[in-house]
Chain A
Amino acid sequence: MRLPILGRRAFLRGAGACVALPWLESLDAALPRATGLPPLRLAILVTPNGMLPSAWKPKREESGTGWVPSFTLEPLTPWKHEVSVLTGLANRQSFSGDGHYAKVAPLLTGMQIRRTGGRDLWNGVSMDQLAAQTVGNATLLPSLELGCDPIYPVEDMGYSTVYGGHIAWSAPDRPLLKELSPRALFERLFRRQELAGDPARGSVLDAVREQSRELRSKLPPRDRAKLEEYEDSLRELERRIAHASRRTTPTTELAATTAPAEGIPSDYPTHVELMLDLIALAFRIDATRIATFLTANEVSGRDFSFVEGCAGNFHDFSHHEERAEKKEPYRRINRWHVARFAGLVERLSKIEEGGGTLLDRSMLVLAAAMSDGNAHSPHDLPILLAGGRAAQLEPGRLITSKRDTPLCRLWLSLLLRMGVRVERFGDAEEPLV
């Protein structure tokens, strides 16, 4: 069973809700079950260019706390008891600045980014990284940062496009590189034995660590920070090697026969589905508990012609100018993204764990950094929250808040559940849910 099969079915299914893939199921069946109380996980998917509010907004159920699917949320119909829709949230630090970059970069940090083309990039620490700094030590990888787009080589509106391509920041001046290759990610998850079994690796790391230390002492402060990143990364690799050598790796043989194809898939839907598979897999084997996935860089002009009626430029559609012929493809592209999220919900719901499902012990978020792309509106952000029954998230609700309630309150809620001891996050003083 080679990987090219993987993802193809999802591709053929188009915009509808997708089923968990046979590849993932077979791996799930072959992998050993964890013992003890399974840990809690957190995955955040962020999509570019906003969501058309008129097509997004669900109605409240006539009785109860639930919601009635809207056009965009339709793919979640089978999963609506597992998903809450949140309204009224905003990152108030993103109200000024440009339309896109000043909104997406601080989505998970709750801070205001510094407008700069390069020098002195400045954001905050993103909530996923705050969580990774607390629980990341327990797993092979503290967190995963995934994406589909390489960095764009332009500077726009006075902002470095480093901002538009990064949601995970381990420090205010440290955006984290996204993994774009499903194969490379798969290797990182499974090739533990090779990681520990290389006799020269220790010497290589010893040699370059020593060189970096010596060099660092000669450099001015700004340059020293660059080598600190080098040494911090080296230390993290050593931690990972130690982690890998402590654990047995019954999965290596399995991995050798099922690895995804080399390189970066040219077919976008396949690429996205593979990344979602790998998030599920990483959670399943507890290789990490935290993942962020930026499905495309902000301002993405991707052509969604694989969705009926959506041939053209995504970003252009998002500036719909209230014209029906642009709003229609815009909302369909939005729905396509929601369907991918539904696919992740489904994947995790099919994996049993500790008497429940992996979904019960995963908190999943779908978010965009603006609501209406036409106006770059930072208000009433489209936010979905799924899973997390085991962490008392009580999914399936329509959770309304008054206009411009800090989005950081949601992040604070999730951080507290992940075991991060914080009293506040960004402009949030109290949790939301």
Chain B
Amino acid sequence: MHRSTSSLPLVLALLAPRSASAQEAPAIETPAQLLERLCADCHDGEAAERGVDLLALTAEGHAGDPQASARLALAVQRLRSRTMPPPDEAQPSAAERRALIAYLAARAPETAGTRLATLRRLTRVQIERSVQDLFGVTWSAGDLLPDDASAHGFTGIGDVQNLSPLHFEKLLEAADSIAALVLANAAARAQVLEDEAPLAARLPAFLARAWRRPVSSREAASFAEIFEELRSAGVPRATVERGLLRAIFASPHFLYRVEVGRADAPAELTAHELASRLSFLLRSSLPDEPLRARAEDGSLLRREVLVAEALRLVRLDGARRFAEDFAAEWLSLRDVLQANADFRRYPQIWNGALRPAFLEQGLRFCSAIAAENRSVLELLDSDSTFVDATLAKHYGLPPIEGGFQRVALSDRRRGGVLGMGAVLFATSYPLRTSPVRRGKWILEKLLDAPPPPPPPNAGTLPPDDQLPDGLSLRQRLERHRKERACAGCHVQMDALGFALENYDVLGLWRDQVNGAPVDALGTLIDGTSMDGPLALREELLLRADEFVRSFAKNLLVAGVGREMTLRDEPALAEIVAQTRASGDRFSALLEAVVTSPLFTRRDPGAP
């Protein structure tokens, strides 16, 4: 469907409360006029740059262009990452940029099926957590199952989950290993099987939990019958029980997260399907009993019940799983476990506790935001953080005793994720910091504005910042930016990254680097200067809309199992508006996300 009401997206953008636009002069041009003024010089007509003719794409009737969606998406990506218009051209204000993005997004054609997620298979972690929740026993996939492929930053995306014969055998072995563990534990076994009773006795109730949907006693009986036959053929009961359990966990009903929709409305999720989405997003596991009951009686389809369940689930374990499985993937927190520093220059790296402590700090911080219903903007800036004795010493904070605890910060240098070793170390090289990687991390994770890939042979920077040719890293990068092909992206990445130069490879504060004062000045494409990490935080807070959108988008990618498209932008904008209107509380964001049609509908693109 294609709209022609050109003013609507702009109005929405202007309505967004507390946004940066409040401090700027309101845009007086319509988006169409903005496009004409800022983009049309290059992107109009037959000779349009990169074949992206924005005037044609936004005119009526472009739907015949099979590339329209991809070209509009490219244009939006470049606008969002501020790599277009090019740095030597006139720049739109932040509000104008948002208006242009909304205008272009609203013109993307709806193609049937593109907003339908592909069937997902449980990941390693989801199988482990499901076994934990079903039986109260810990099962580890260990070497039995391969690592999961990821897409758009998350594992468990159906599009990249293939199944080969080898992989299938591994899943069977995993199922057998689960079966053995369950049979060895009397309490666990009693969940499924009963002595002196037919195999099917407890199956309907158990299968309904394990397979996350209603299971009739007839279906359970015919499933059990296959194994009863083995009994009558003289196979020992223990062998038969193990086979039955193996079949339960090797079954496609267990392994795949099936969403077929309501019989009368296939575009809508059933209550059980919605329960699974919710539970796997927040708990990486199948629905628990209270949630299942609300799916069973259908009350989960009511907004207030859905919201209450979401908040209950995420807080069940103090949002620990939410941090370990969602936040750690979104922010790539585990990368720090692989990070390396040169031990001659950074002898602290010999302390084996440092990397795990960095990760733990990030996890605690993220789980506290969810569990304590804090403002999600604390991820950008906060007046407290979590440290243990190791990290307090490392960061030079007042010494503390014992394990991780929240500590108040006397200045904001350590506040938010940008003050954490987990981010600062993981984005550094062994011998030097990397403003480029740090800037890219901010753009990708916090603002969902990833720069486009570098052109082939873009060149590399030296591995060390103690350079033989006397050029500083900054000078080298500045030279790089003189090339027009590089400038567009590096203006963004470098400015954001340079503002973090006060943190060394291991995230320690420094005022000097190689004997010279730290130069932490970054200049953005619109001329804004940020000198140092605190100024960077201010700049990011001005972009809170973009940050909230990024958080929401990542929740949806993980929760729904697909990349968001331009057609999803209006619903995302709605989530941002709702969250910001409620003081950026985590609960507001979660409510807006799980009640969004992007989450509650199986195919938001279908009428």
Contacts and interface: CB of A to CB of B under 8 A. Distances in A.
A226 B119 contact: yes
Contact of B149 (A119, A162, A319): A162
A216 B240 CA distance: 27
A160 B158 CA distance: 13
Interface residues of A, number: 64
A220 B114 CA distance: 13
Contact of B258 (A188, A219, A236): A219
Contacts of B356: none
Contacts of B166: 145, 176-177, 179
A363 to B, nearest CB: 23
Interface size class of B (residues with CB under 8 A): 35 or more
Contacts of B162: 162, 173-177, 229
A182 to B, nearest CB: 11
A367 B163 CA distance: 26
Contact of B251 (A119, A207, A316): A207
Contacts of B168: 230, 233-234, 236-237
A264 interface: yes
Interface string A133-167: 00000000000010000110111111011100000
A275 to B, nearest CB: 14
B119 to A, nearest CB: 4
Which one of B116, B165, B235 has the highest number of Cβ atoms from chain A below 10 Å of its Cβ?
B165
A312 B201 CA distance: 61
A200 interface: yes
A240 B172 CA distance: 14
Contact of B252 (A204, A212, A263): A212
Contact of A223 (B118, B226, B227): B118
A121 B167 CA distance: 18
Contacts of A177: 146, 162, 164, 166-167, 170
Contact of B148 (A151, A174, A181): A151
Contacts of A229: 162-164
A203 B457 contact: no
A214 to B, nearest CB: 9
B515 interface: no
Contact of A199 (B121, B239, B253): B239
A119 B562 contact: yes
Contacts of B227: 200, 203, 207
B147 interface: yes
Interface in B219-273: 223, 226-227, 229-230, 235, 239-240, 242-244, 246-247, 250-253, 255-256, 258, 260
A223 B119 contact: yes
Contacts of B172: 204, 237
Given A155-B151, A233-B168, A376-B457, A150 B146 contact: yes
A218 interface: yes
Contact of A157 (B116, B246, B453): B453
A129 to B, nearest CB: 10
A141 to B, nearest CB: 8
A264 B142 CA distance: 11
A230 B163 contact: yes
Contacts of A211: 251-253
A316 B563 contact: no
Contacts of B456: 98-99, 376
Contacts of A199: 230, 235, 239, 243
B461 to A, nearest CB: 11
B482 interface: no
A382 B147 CA distance: 31
A210 to B, nearest CB: 8
A321 B460 contact: yes
Contacts of A236: 165, 168
Nearest to B144: A184
B143 A181 contact: yes
A200 B242 contact: yes
A53 B170 CA distance: 40
Contact of A219 (B119, B146, B246): B119
B118 A237 contact: no
Contact of A153 (B155, B243, B453, B562): B155
B118 A215 contact: no
Contacts of B59: none
A121 B160 CA distance: 8
B69 to A, nearest CB: 12
A346 to B, nearest CB: 28
A200 B152 contact: no
A162 B152 CA distance: 12
19 contacts: A145-B166, A156-B453, A162-B149, A175-B164, A176-B164, A200-B239, A200-B244, A203-B229, A204-B172, A204-B246, A204-B250, A206-B226, A207-B227, A218-B260, A227-B119, A227-B256, A230-B252, A319-B460, A321-B460
Given A117-B152, A203-B226, A215-B258, 8 more contacts: A151-B146, A151-B148, A153-B149, A153-B150, A162-B149, A177-B164, A230-B252, A233-B164
Interface of A: 98-99, 117-121, 145, 150-151, 153-158, 160-162, 170, 173-177, 179-181, 184, 188, 199-201, 203-204, 206-208, 211-212, 215, 218-220, 222-223, 226-227, 229-230, 232-234, 236-237, 240, 262-264, 316, 319, 321, 375-376
Q: Which 6 A-B pairs have the closest CB atoms?
A: A200-B243, A118-B151, A233-B168, A223-B119, A236-B165, A150-B147
Interface of B: 113, 116, 118-119, 121, 143, 146-153, 155, 157-170, 172, 223, 226-227, 229-230, 235, 239-240, 242-244, 246-247, 250-253, 255-256, 258, 260, 329, 453, 456-457, 460, 463, 562-563
